[in-house]
Amino acid sequence: MPPNSRFSDATSLPPICISEDTSRFRYTYRNGPRSAVRIARIVLETVNLNHSNVRWFVFGDDNTIFFPENLVKTLSKYDHGLWYYIGTGSESFAQNKFFSYKMAFGGAGFAISYPLAMVLSKVLDSCLNRYPHLYGSDGRIHACIAELGISLTHEPGFHQMDFRGSMFGFLASHPISPLVSLHASDTIDPIFPNMTTIMSLEHLFKAVSIDSRRVMQQTVCYDRWFSWTISVSWGYAVQIFPHHVFLPDAIRTQETYIPLKKGGGINDFYDVDTMGYDPDPCRRPPLFFFHKASFGRDRITTSYRIMTSENCTFDMASPRKIEEIRVFSRKLELDAKQMQAPRRHCCDVLPSSSSGNIMEIAIKDCGHEELIHMHP
């Protein structure tokens, strides 16, 4: 880093390390990136830095966004003294079929426990010589860990995001697990309308700074007065279906995105439980995006507003009359048992205290026998 860099005095930044020469290793994947060998060896080089008090080594691409508190909380489920290789596959059927369902994809990031990383670092170079034909660095790490007899432990909070276009449907149906990572590749749109990718991530982190654990967690509640179904993806978006939707359907992923690769066939299939998305915006449920968050009196308030203009006609029984949604919640604290056996939260639509253009929702722990269901 140049001495006059404005970051040169920032002691909080990690040190910059230049990886070793890897020209002695063969790479035979046609038209592939030879840098995959060098990137794979970063695992070995990081271990060799001999940092103290290390429990996990976490790796990702240069455009992987990690949510540190959630990453730490997720890894706390596991005994770091055992051999663990933790991550996720792709959302694309074609990508998984081509590379492997048992490989942690690098764009989503992955974690290797300390004892496994120590052993892997000792055998990595000899192992890499057996896999010159593989495409990427993550495939090489997977192959060498597999040779040690260890399989991938899937964690749903890591996200490779092998799509193109809008990620709304995917993010709004996040599994009941802390959001650990997003792969901010240039194939996807900014996650908030009318913003750049950087602006949208900065906006999301306003919610993350208030309640990291709850970000993107989906809660569904049913309005007794209008028979609406409301899906809340905390800190991201709220969607109001103008009719009752069974819960198993409400938590499915709407296909707002398009396949990563063109050409049809298996490229059009996903390893995600999907549902259709109407091409006519006026026939879709109105969508309210995160606006702001505040904390006070032992509760958090987030507000959501419409950020796009569809110019749709509607009557007073339509959810399109709503201008703002306010969601009240307490900071989400997850203990070890809740991490191991997560349960979706419940929510109530509160009686309107305004002229009817503001909806208020309270998120709560579900009662012991409480069901999330449509009301007659």
- From first to last of the 376 residues of the chain, give the pLDDT tens digit: 334 444 455 677 778 889 999 999 999 999 999 999 999 999 999 999 999 999 999 999 999 999 999 999 999 999 999 999 999 999 999 999 999 999 999 999 999 999 999 999 999 999 999 999 999 999 999 999 999 999 999 999 999 999 999 999 999 999 999 999 999 888 899 999 999 999 999 999 999 999 999 999 999 999 988 899 999 999 999 999 999 999 999 999 999 999 988 888 999 999 999 999 999 999 999 999 999 999 988 899 999 999 877 788 888 778 989 999 999 999 999 998 999 999 999 999 998 766 778 999 999 999 999 999 988 7
Residue 92 tokens, joined: 């694309």
What does the pLDDT read at residue 8? Answer: 52
Q: Name, in order, each residue with C-beta under 8 angstroms of 161's C-beta and a sequence gap of 6 or more.
A: 91, 107, 108, 167, 170, 182, 183, 184, 185, 188
Contact 137, 120 (CB under 8 A): no
Q: Are strands 358-364 and 324-329 parallel, antiparallel or unpaired?
A: parallel
Residue 123 tokens, joined: 């055998």
Q: To which residue do tokens 């253009």 refer?
A: 357
Q: Where are the domains of the chain?
A: 35-154, 212-364
- The DSSP letter of residue 31 is T
What does the pLDDT read at residue 187? Answer: 87
The CATH code belonging to domain 35-154 is 3.90.550.50
- The DSSP letter of residue 146 is H
What does the pLDDT read at residue 10? Answer: 63
| DSSP per-residue letters across 170-236 | HHHT--SS---EEE--TTB--SSTTS-HHHHHHHHHHHHHH-GGGTT-EEEEE-TTT--EEEEETTT
Q: How far is CA 197 from CA 23, 108, 211, 262, 270, in A?
A: 36, 17, 21, 23, 24
What does the pLDDT read at residue 2? Answer: 39
What does the pLDDT read at residue 263? Answer: 85
Q: Name, in order, each residue with C-beta under 8 angstroms of 368's C-beta and a sequence gap of 6 or more.
A: none
3-state helix, strand, coil in the chain (%, to 5): 25, 20, 55
Confidence (pTM): 0.92
What does the pLDDT read at residue 289? Answer: 98
Residue type, 286: P
